[in-house]
Amino acid sequence: MQGPGVSFLRRFTATPAVSQEVAELSCTINVEGDVHSFTVPEGARILPTALSLGVPVPHDCTDGNCLTCLCRVVTGSVDCQGGVLDDDALERGYTLLCQSVLESDVELDHVSKAELYSDMAEQAADLDELDFDFGGGDEDGDEDGDAAEEDGKP
């Protein structure tokens, strides 16, 4: 009924609150013998979470360019979503904390720059052992297959 002095009444009920729980994953980082364990919300990057919790993790640029937060994945898996690491480095288990999101509980070892350079030197030594054939000549570089004279004249 409507008219003067009659009001229209509606009743509303609130819907139950939806839980906003975010899954958290466990992260353990070994930095030169100091082991730090903490949880990371699903979808959050490791480095900002660690820093917000006061975990002393080496870092510098936070953009994936300096390699200061470089770690090697010991167990578990991460998704490194940017930075300067190539596919080969990612396949060898390297990741950047500033660019990585956990896919599972993980254990990580921080990689010092000295350790990184040593690994790079080993990789370069492996390249030296490869036999590249670019074609176009024999061992002395000429096309005829004859050995070159010592004075450089054929």
- Which architecture does CATH list for 24-127? Roll (3.10)
- What confidence score (pLDDT) does residue 120 get? 80
Which two structure tokens, joined as six digits, stand for 130? 């490869």
Which two structure tokens, joined as six digits, stand for 46? 């490791």
Higher pLDDT, 152 or 112: 112
DSSP letters along 23-51, please?
Answer: -EEEEEEEETTEEEEEEEETT-BHHHHHH
Q: Would you say 63 and 69 are in contact if contact means Cβ atoms under 8 Å apart?
A: no
Contacts of 140 (CB under 8 A, 6+ apart): 147, 148
Question: Positive or negative CA dihedral for 127, 131, 135, 138?
Answer: positive
Question: Which tens digits make up the pLDDT trace of 41-60?
Answer: 999 999 999 999 999 999 99
Q: What size, in residues, is the chain?
A: 154
- What confidence score (pLDDT) does residue 22 get? 81
Dist. CA 106–CA 146, nearest whole Å = 60
Question: Which tens digits make up the pLDDT trace of 58-111?
Answer: 999 999 999 999 999 999 999 999 889 999 899 999 999 999 999 999 999 999
Q: Would you say 39 and 30 are in contact if contact means Cβ atoms under 8 Å apart?
A: no
Q: Is the pLDDT of residue 15 over 80?
A: no
